[in-house]
Amino acid sequence: MQSISRGLTLLFALAGGAAVGNLYWAQPLLDFIAGDLHASTAAAGWLVTATQIGYATGILLIVPLGDVLNRRRLVPVMLLCAAVALTACALAPSFGTLLVAISVLGVTTVAGQILTPLAGDLADDAVRGQVVGTVVSGLLVGILVSRTISGLVADALGWRAIFGVAAVVAVVLAVLLYRNIPTLPPKTRVPYPALIASVFTVIARERAVRWTLVLGGTGFASFTMFWTSLTFLLSAPPYRYPVSVIGLFGLAGLAGALAAQRAGRLHDRGLGVAAMGVAWAVTLGAFVLAGVGRESVVVVLIAVVLLDVAIQAGNILNQARILAVSGEERSRLNTAFVTGNFIGGAVGSAAAAVLWNAGGWTAVCVAGVTASVLALIVWVLGRSGPLRVRPAS
């Protein structure tokens, strides 16, 4: 019997998506913000960097607290802190003030990564993958739609409005979650320095975690490399699409994220490892298709959907496997997983620019095929041992 209701699962997904969306409100508005606050476009780019650095810091220093604090209080507190930071962004009188405020926003907008392991704790073993998959899909949808929402709101009301609206949403969600999250006793009592150190201890101790981190980081590196390079492809001949049209390609990614939500059920049925192999095979096929069909927008769109379904399904399968390793350390395990993905994503973004300059779209697709083959080798070597874990309650 499922111990977390469908309604609470959806609330977790909504709150997680709204929280992670805070990282991306500014991305499509950099020129708008730079002009209004008299900053250069290059300086405005630091807003994105500062948010990501802040988020990585929050993942490492705050998310592990989910294993030692009452999350019925911790999650709403983090949402309220994010609301304060969002308000500061909306009211920032100068670029320097906005840079500081958005850095704090990155640190505090980690509620979604606390809710994910909490969902794993509340769900029974038989449905844990499905529940975690729903919550993670909420985060993915938040990432994909936040840029579109930000652009629409900014066009109508100015760039400050999106931060103000997001602050109100964060407060409402904080109240709803405080009223609906059940009170759970702390899993353990560990001094804070030892708590943070134990993130690395669990990685060193658990072989399944290390293998899964490799697959997860490789997947996100491939994902960010593809999407970063796709902007270059669609801006160049034969397409020459404007930014507004390129942004619509994110809707294809949204379809992929929604379809991948069902991957959690495969984990629950004991098919997670096999499904991971299929996901990487599809990823390989998507890069091949994107490479040979680069001059057809229909083929590129099909490749986008295939890649998103495969990578997001793999992400959910990896996260469900990680959270099954230890019921007492789920927040720390989630910290390790998200940090590994974050590192992979940063590598992928950097590789995209280098590969594009070296060989354009062909180089990017060859790199994607290579990464997929290496991941499949890791999967083949690990499927009979390191990638199999006993479900934790």
Predicted confidence (pLDDT) per residue in 219-252, tens digit: 989 988 898 788 788 878 888 887 667 767 777 7
Give the pLDDT confidence score for residue 1 in this predicted structure.
37
Q: What is the CA radius of gyration of the chain?
A: 20
Is 12 within a domain?
Answer: yes
For the ranges 110-114, 309-313, 373-377, the one whose mean pLDDT is highest:
373-377
Q: Are residues 151 and 233 in the same domain?
A: no
CA gap 296, 157 in Å, rounded: 37
pLDDT digits (tens, 9 = 90+) for 133-142: 888 888 888 8
Q: Are residues 271 and 150 in the same domain?
A: no
Examine the pLDDT at 95 and tell me if it is beyond 50.
yes
Within 10 angstroms of residue 9's Cβ, the number of other Cβ atoms is 23
Q: Are residues 167 and 238 in the same domain?
A: no
Is 106 within a domain?
Answer: yes
Q: Are residues 129 and 256 in the same domain?
A: no
Is 297 within a domain?
Answer: yes
CA gap 83, 108 in Å, rounded: 9
Q: Are residues 214 and 256 in the same domain?
A: yes
CA gap 123, 334 in Å, rounded: 16
- Number of domains making up the chain: 2
Segment among 108-122, 234-248, 269-283, 373-387 with least mean pLDDT = 234-248
Segment among 21-35, 188-202, 267-281 with least mean pLDDT = 21-35
CA gap 162, 145 in Å, rounded: 13
Work out the percent of the chain whose per-residue pLDDT is above 70.
Answer: 95
CA gap 48, 359 in Å, rounded: 27
Q: Are residues 232 and 180 in the same domain?
A: no
Give the pLDDT confidence score for residue 2 in this predicted structure.
45
Q: Are residues 325 and 286 in the same domain?
A: yes
Q: Are residues 158 and 262 in the same domain?
A: no
Is 233 within a domain?
Answer: yes
Examine the pLDDT at 216 and tell me if it is beyond 70.
yes
The last residue of a domain, from among 158, 189, 220 = 189
Nearest to 60 by CA among 256, 195, 217, 155: 195
Is 77 within a domain?
Answer: yes
- State the residue range of the domain holding 119: 6-189
393: confidence class by pLDDT, cuts 50, 70, 90:
very low
The last residue of a domain, from among 157, 189, 221 = 189
Q: Are residues 86 and 217 in the same domain?
A: no
What is the CATH number for 184?
A: 1.20.1250.20
79: confidence class by pLDDT, cuts 50, 70, 90:
very high
Give the pLDDT confidence score for residue 224 in this predicted structure.
83
Average pLDDT over residues 111-134: 86
Give the pLDDT confidence score for residue 260 in this predicted structure.
65
Is 392 within a domain?
Answer: no
Work out the percent of the chain whose per-residue pLDDT is above 90.
Answer: 42
Give the pLDDT confidence score for residue 8 in this predicted structure.
93
Q: What is the pTM of this model?
A: 0.77
Is 314 within a domain?
Answer: yes
Q: Are residues 39 and 119 in the same domain?
A: yes
Is 388 within a domain?
Answer: no
The last residue of a domain, from among 161, 189, 217 = 189
Segment among 90-94, 98-102, 203-207 with least mean pLDDT = 203-207
CA gap 303, 310 in Å, rounded: 10
Q: Are residues 137 and 257 in the same domain?
A: no
Q: Are residues 126 and 220 in the same domain?
A: no
CB contact set of 383 (below 8 Å; sequence gap of 6+): 273, 274, 276, 277
First CA to last CA distance, the chain: 14
Give the pLDDT confidence score for residue 247 in this predicted structure.
65
Q: Which structure tokens are listed for 306?
A: 């295939």
pLDDT digits (tens, 9 = 90+) for 344-369: 887 887 788 789 889 999 999 999 99
Asked if 364 contacts 352 with a C-beta cutoff of 8 angstroms, the reply is: yes
Examine the pLDDT at 389 and tell me if it is beyond 70.
no
**Residue located via tokens 């939500």:** 261
Examine the pLDDT at 176 and tell me if it is beyond 90.
yes
CA gap 235, 147 in Å, rounded: 18
Between 128-157 and 243-260, two packed helices, what is the crossing angle to 10 degrees?
Answer: 160
Give the pLDDT confidence score for residue 138 in this predicted structure.
87
